[in-house]
DNA sequence: TTACTTTTATGACTTAAATCATAAAAGAAC
DNA sequence: GTTCTTTTATGATTTAAGTCATAAAAGTAA
């Protein structure tokens, strides 16, 4: 999202994370801007009885955790490496200077936040009032068109596990599995040796 | 959020809305920046069987609907006047010029988006995995500390109806009413002639 | 003060998704 | 190719919240 050159120029450092390593915890105060160089980071919550909710999955080039950094609020979730990863880490004050001195980059960031807010607004309405099948379809279609930018008519092979999908839309795996079966019967999506194609 | 002077300078116009009037519909493309002058606007969704979900309630001084305007996406929800209201309306191109030429204002907007993203992230995790009582408390505490900025030790008289709270956290009125009763019994909140005090 | 509307309240019943148990595939590691 | 782990799958049962019905307060308008 922010170019490597610019990040280096402002003194960003690389952080290496092994799979399952936690980068920051929920309710802690942000001190850095983070952006994925390689690998995959997820932000997630756990309720009292350990049920996970995935706020987002961030891969190469994407930043994460900027909202609380900008709003001066505690992190609303954990950040955990889904795979071995490398991320840029830039001190808050340097990040703010970067934004100030690079208005085009600032606008890019604003648009990123806007897009994320749009995703959250869509998902929260889904989660609060739609059926498992509806929620699942919205999620898959969101990933197809917005994350991977695949045209409607081209097939999309879903890379998410059933558990991950469940955690992204607030359901249990079994419910997701049953919803997938039902959607397949209705020919709304296809299964190719357990992989979902939409 | 953006000062009246600045809005006027860039050619913003006033729009008058009567209670229940709809300013824009879901799935339509944004063309304007909006900011409440007086009254109250809510953004909401309805599922197939008419169940409402309230994305947010915006009162004096607050902007709404900017994310899809910036992200070039369709509105994820309706905007409807909760009371007779007046709002500023500024054309997209003029709004973008305003941001470009007023970096401090741009940063203010970025922070507003960041705060809203924080609210959404918190709420979606709640809605997806917490009990009605937990969700209700989070909502009330959010309004107390973040919307009205009331110190912890001071009492907060909740201005939301049970139906509105239900629609903000994806529950049914009856469930909210029962959760309130239960929280009162546990002395977590008080009821003063049906008004909630926390 | 009365009439009408909206909001709050409560009990009985239903239902969709969670939970629990168990197993078969698929994938990764050696 | 065998072992171990993770993911997918399915049936039976439970349960929390939704639904439905009905009414009492509270608020508003004439």
- Listed by start position, the domains of chain B span 4-102, 130-197
A50: exposed, middle or buried (Cβ count in 10 Å: 0-12, 13-18, 19+): exposed
At residue B19, does pLDDT exceed 90?
A: no
Do B110 and A113 lie within an 8 Å CB cutoff? yes
Beta bridge partners of A35: A63, A88
pLDDT band at B197 (very low <50, low <70, confident <90, very high): very high
Q: How far is B182 from chain A (nearest CA, A)?
A: 19
Q: What does pLDDT average to over chain B?
A: 93
A123 interaction partners in chain B (CB closer than 8 Å): 124
Give the pLDDT confidence score for residue A193 in this predicted structure. Answer: 84
Contacts of A43 (CB under 8 A, 6+ apart): A54, A55, A56, A58, A64, A65, A77, A78, A79, A80
CATH number of B4-102: 2.60.120.10
How many residue contacts between A and B have a Cβ separation below 8 Å? 130
pLDDT tens for residues B25-48?
999 999 999 999 998 999 999 988
The answer to whether some atom of strand C lies closer than 7 Å to the beta carbon of A174 is yes
| Candidate from A129-133, A134-138, B81-85 with smallest mean pLDDT | B81-85
Q: What is the pLDDT of residue A5?
A: 93
Contact yes or no for A114 and B71 at CB 8 A: yes
Residue B1 is predicted with a pLDDT of: 86
Structural tokens at position B120: 């959404």
| B124 contacts A55 by C-beta, under 8 angstroms | yes
| Interface contact A128-B71, CB threshold 8 A | no
Average pLDDT over residues B106-125: 94
What mean pLDDT is predicted for residues B121-149?
93
Q: Does residue B102 sit at the A interface (CB-CB below 8 Å)?
A: no
Residue A25 predicted with pLDDT over 90: yes
- Res. B193: pLDDT tops 90: no
CA of A127 to C1' of D15 (A): 20
How many angstroms separate the CA atoms of B63 and B109, rounded? 9
Q: Can you say whether the dihedral through the CA atoms of B89, B95, B99, B101 is positive or negative?
A: negative
β-bridge partners, B57:
B42
CATH architecture of A130-197: Orthogonal Bundle (1.10)
Provide the 8-state DSSP code for B143: I
* Cα–Cα distance for residue pair A112/A72, rounded to 1 Å: 18
pLDDT of res. A159: 92
């Amino acid at each position: 999202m922010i170019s490597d050159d610019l990040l280096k120029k402002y003194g960003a450092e690389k952080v290496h994370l092994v799979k399952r390593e936690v980068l920051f915890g929920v309710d802690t105060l942000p001190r850095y801007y983070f952006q994925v160089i390689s690998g995959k980071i997820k932000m997630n919550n756990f309720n009292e009885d350990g049920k996970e909710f995935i706020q987002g999955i961030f891969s190469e080039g994407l930043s994460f955790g900027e909202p609380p950094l900008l709003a001066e609020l505690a992190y609303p979730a954990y950040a955990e490496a889904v795979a071995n990863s490398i991320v840029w880490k830039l001190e808050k004050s340097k990040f703010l200077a970067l934004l100030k001195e690079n208005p085009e980059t600032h606008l890019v960031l604003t648009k990123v936040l806007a897009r994320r807010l749009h995703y959250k607004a869509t998902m929260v309405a889904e989660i609060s009032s739609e059926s498992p099948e509806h929620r699942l379809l919205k999620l898959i279609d969101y990933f197809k068109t917005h994350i991977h930018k695949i045209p409607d008519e081209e097939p999309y092979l879903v890379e998410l596990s059933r558990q991950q999908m469940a955690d992204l839309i607030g359901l249990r795996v079994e419910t997701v599995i049953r919803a997938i079966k039902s959607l397949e019967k209705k020919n709304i999506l296809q299964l190719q040796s357990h992989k979902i194609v939409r």
